[in-house]
Amino acid sequence: MGSSSSSRLFSTLAQSLSSAPLPHGLTHTQTDTEECEFEQADPEALLHECEEVLRNRPPRPHRDFIRTRASTPLNPQIRIMQWNILAQALGEGKDGFVRCPMEALNWAERKYLILEEILTYRPDVLCLQEVDHYYDTFQPLLSRVGYQGSFCPKPCSPCLDVRDNNGPDGCALFFSRQRFELLGTSHLRLSAMMLKTNQVAIVATLRCRDTGRTFCVAVTHLKARSGWEAFRSAQGSHLLQQLRVICSQQGQHSEGVPLVVCGDFNAEPDEEVYRRFLASPLQLESAYRTLSSDGNTEPLFTSWKIRPSGESRATLDYVWYSRLGFSVDAVLSMPSEEQIGPDRLPSYHYPSDHLSLVCDLSFIQEPHRLM
């Protein structure tokens, strides 16, 4: 599958994009506040360009939004997107997807699959993990379509062990500049058992321009692999402690401001870290439980892959929200096994081994705002 037209979208960014990776010493603090100087681009036009590049690939799985309640004009929705996009260096050099052709992982086209997914759902807040092309791809391009971003790399990213890597992977958080004002950003290195770990988180405090309401949003990626359940639980506990402090500092009331936490937790719902979040004093709820008939069950999977060790289908990704601060208006449905296909993920029609999670939230009206 050639990509003869795959330079069209990025030709408009040729002044700033480079195929060379950033020096490994460059950190997020040097570029977090930088904004692209390009004119605003039309997201719909860029989406069409992505579709043109990908015209020879199978279409992405169709997914419908399942509405849970009616929103009101006085309480606008906030669309949240959570996605582990699969670091390019790991996909090509470490993860060993035995049923995925290497051609399907070619960055020259795979980046368009990622961008097509983002531009299709047009989230107001975008939370990503395994981002190793932040500075040369996502930050400049998403800035052009109205997003402001922040990136926190892993201190010892496994991407750096791969030849010809593009630098460390990490978490990235983007938000619509039109919808929100940034009040503050914290970059956290998670601890476990009194030790600093290789996992990180970003916490942004945003003020909604439509409603004047303030909330915090966090993105994280916990330790992977079986056998590390206690470690993940400790990381989750540390993150919850930090979130409680940050939210309380921003709020005018003792309970603090509402919170959204997105992440690849690398943990099934029966793990302790999941139970910690569900029982947290922050009163968090998982948005995707609203898809179940009982409202208490997560999807059957958010990741489905085949490696040399065998096939793995697991629920690892979550969008947590303050149940006293937000209501869930709609949730993007999960694709079927038939849509995913027998070779699982990633594939020619889907760029990551994790599915994106997308939900529409709205603020619960505070009593004094109803008067």
For the chain, the average pLDDT equals: 89
Whether 83 contacts 318, CB under 8 Å: no
In a domain? residue 2: no
Query: Using 50, 70 and 90 to split pLDDT, how confident is the model at 94?
Result: confident
Compute the residue count for the chain.
Answer: 371
pLDDT of 6 higher than 80: no
In a domain? residue 186: yes
pLDDT at 255: 63
Report d(CA 69, CA 211) in Å as an integer.
19
Report d(CA 332, CA 65) in Å as an integer.
4
Range scoring the smallest mean pLDDT among 17-21, 77-81, 137-141: 17-21
In a domain? residue 336: yes
pLDDT tens-digit readout, 326-367: 999 999 999 999 999 999 999 999 999 999 999 999 999 865
Is the bond preceding 346 in cis, omega lying within 30 degrees of 0? yes
pLDDT of 25 higher than 70: no
β-strands 357-363, 78-84: how paired?
antiparallel
Report d(CA 132, CA 143) in Å as an integer.
17
pLDDT at 251: 61
> Can you list the alpha helix ranges (DSSP code H) found in the chain?
8-11, 43-53, 88-93, 107-121, 139-144, 229-250, 272-278, 337-340
Query: Using 50, 70 and 90 to split pLDDT, how confident is the model at 90?
Result: very high
pLDDT of 298 higher than 50: yes
Query: Using 50, 70 and 90 to split pLDDT, how confident is the model at 229?
Result: very high
Q: Which of 28, 7, 32, 30 is nearest to 17 (CA)?
A: 7
Whether 95 contacts 84, CB under 8 Å: no
Q: If you ran DSSP here, which 8-state letter would residue 198 be given?
A: E
Query: Using 50, 70 and 90 to split pLDDT, how confident is the model at 10?
Result: low
pLDDT tens-digit readout, 140-167: 999 999 999 999 999 999 999 999 999 9
Domain extent for 193: 43-363
Strand segments, DSSP code E, in the chain are 65-67, 78-84, 125-131, 147-153, 170-176, 180-192, 195-208, 214-221, 259-264, 284-286, 303-307, 310-314, 317-322, 326-332, 357-363
Query: Using 50, 70 and 90 to split pLDDT, how confident is the model at 1?
Result: very low
> 136 — phi, psi (to 5°)?
-100, -5
> Can you list the alpha helix ranges (DSSP code H) found in 182-319?
229-250, 272-278
Q: What is the mean pLDDT of residues 102-124?
A: 96
In a domain? residue 14: no
- Helix and strand numbers (H, E) in the chain are 8, 15
Q: Which CATH number characterizes residue 257's domain? A: 3.60.10.10
Query: Using 50, 70 and 90 to split pLDDT, how confident is the model at 16?
Result: very low
Report d(CA 202, CA 320) in Å as an integer.
15
Q: Rounded to whole angstroms, what are the CA distances from 340 to 53, 110, 357? A: 21, 17, 15
pLDDT of 95 higher than 90: no
Domain count, the chain: 1
Range scoring the smallest mean pLDDT among 2-16, 18-32, 227-241, 266-280: 18-32
Q: Rounded to whole angstroms, what are the CA distances from 287 to 54, 297, 349? A: 31, 10, 26
pLDDT tens-digit readout, 163-206: 999 999 999 999 999 999 999 999 999 999 899 999 999 999 99
In a domain? residue 196: yes
Whether 229 contacts 193, CB under 8 Å: no
In a domain? residue 1: no
Report d(CA 224, CA 232) in Å as an integer.
8
Report d(CA 49, CA 146) in Å as an integer.
17
pLDDT at 69: 75
In a domain? residue 152: yes
Query: Across the strands, what pairs with 216?
Result: 205, 259
In a domain? residue 222: yes
pLDDT at 256: 80
Whether 341 contacts 303, CB under 8 Å: no
pLDDT at 5: 43
Report d(CA 254, CA 24) in Å as an integer.
41
pLDDT at 56: 94
Q: If you ran DSSP here, which 8-state letter would residue 348 be given?
A: T
